[in-house]
Amino acid sequence: MKHQLKLDYTIPFGGLQPYFDALHDGKALASACNSCGSVAFPARTQCGNCRSSDMKWVRLNGTARVLFRTDASAGSFALVKFDGADTSSTVALDNPENDAMFGTIVAPKDGAPGLWLTLVDTENEEHDGR
């Protein structure tokens, strides 16, 4: 027996609304812990290091270094570390034909969900190398 279930719902962003607004605009907005100084991107409402909820917003420059990458028929993805963040992020690659190890955050195309990165050919192009 086959049944189809269709759900239509909205996920509230709550305290992370500024983070999602920045993503929509192709900007990187991280959360920084006022207690221990840890910077998280993607942003969090609670510090993953010391568990404090005393957080503030920090704008990152949006550049990242590729740590690992995978390419599949469904798309290309990478684990990256954004400059200025203490955490790593999984991103979808906007231009998978490029095999560069650096990139910049971009706004999602056609409302696609998630973090998107455009790869750039050299560390100095759109990347400060920190």
User: Does residue 6 sit in helix, strand or coil?
Assistant: coil
Overall average pLDDT of the 38-62 stretch: 97
Measure the CA angle with vertex 118, ends 112 and 120; round to 5°: 175
pLDDT of residue 123: 62
pLDDT of residue 130: 35
pLDDT of residue 117: 96
Q: Lowest-pLDDT range, 25-34, 90-99, 107-116, 121-130? A: 121-130
pLDDT of residue 125 exceeding 70, the answer is no
**For 13-84, where are the E strands, in sequence order?**
28-33, 39-40, 55-60, 63-72, 75-82
Q: Lowest-pLDDT range, 34-38, 40-44, 109-113? A: 109-113
pLDDT of residue 129: 40
For the chain, give the mean pLDDT.
90
pLDDT band at 6 (very low <50, low <70, confident <90, very high): confident
